[in-house]
Amino acid sequence: MRREYFAPCTLGLEEVLAAEVRTLGGGDVTIRRGAVSFTGERRLGYAANLWLRSAVRVQERVAEFPAKGRTELEAAVGAIEWERWLDTHGTLAVDASVRDSEITHSGFAALVVKDAIVDRFRRLTGERPSVDADAPDLPVKLVLHRDRASLDLNLSGESLHKRGWRPIQVKSPVNEAIAAGLLMLSGWDRKSPLVDPMCGLGTFVVEAACLAADRAPGMLRRFAFEKWLDFDEPL
């Protein structure tokens, strides 16, 4: 089954990310402002999380529908089979962005979606999943624009720049995804000697080493989709 994916990135790295997606076999690759959308099988969604160096996260489209006001949004969200991904022992969180819609507050929109999801579980089982804003099993993204809603699942969980090789994540002006994107933009051939004379935290040289070794940037970390009920572990 073909799925729709969406991968945000830092502004200016869209072409780099699009090239990465094409290399993985993504179809219908479309460059957007600060993101790339593409289609593919479930295998591509898993591979994108493991291999994309310049992406911030990978999202899968669940539904798209008109949502003029609370009632319409609530009804449409409640009709989605959330039990495909989550059970009552799991956790969820909803991140929302709203623009030019009857619902004007992103926090309220997120609350409506959360309530609709947990109410569906209550109707089906008499129980409900919990909310975990920091590390949810099922991160849900809502975009409400001109009274039209799109719902995505965040397959990645934490930002993909958190590769797993840095034991303590510190604040840095250049994170791993930006460093990898800049290296790919530079035209470096992955064979010539590479020197970073201003090396501070080592981000550029570590990302360069991973590029040269063709080492998957996500091999040392886990992803949100690994906790979902429909996770295909052999795949």
- pLDDT score, position 165: 85
Band of pLDDT at residue 42, cut at 50, 70 and 90: very high
**Which string of DSSP letters, residue by residue, matches 82-147?**
GGGT--TTSEEEEEEEEESSS---HHHHHHHHHHHHHHHHHHHHS--PEE-SSS-SEEEEEEEETT
pLDDT above 70 coverage of the chain, percent:
99
Is residue 133 over pLDDT 90?
yes
Would you state the CATH architecture of domain 3-58+171-212? 2-Layer Sandwich (3.30)
Q: Regarding the domain delimited by 62-154, which CATH topology (the fold level of the hierarchy) does it fall under?
A: VC0802-like (3.30.2130)
Mean pLDDT for the stretch of residues 53-76? 97
* Bridge partner list, 27: 39
Is residue 166 over pLDDT 90?
no
Lowest mean pLDDT among 47-51, 145-149, 169-173: 169-173
Residue with tokens 């052999």: 234
Q: Where are the domains of the chain?
A: 3-58+171-212, 62-154
Is residue 172 over pLDDT 70?
no
Band of pLDDT at residue 57, cut at 50, 70 and 90: very high
Mean pLDDT for the stretch of residues 170-194? 91
Band of pLDDT at residue 1, cut at 50, 70 and 90: confident
- pLDDT score, position 135: 92
The mean pLDDT value of the chain amounts to: 95
- pLDDT score, position 191: 94
Is residue 173 over pLDDT 80?
no
Is residue 93 over pLDDT 80?
yes
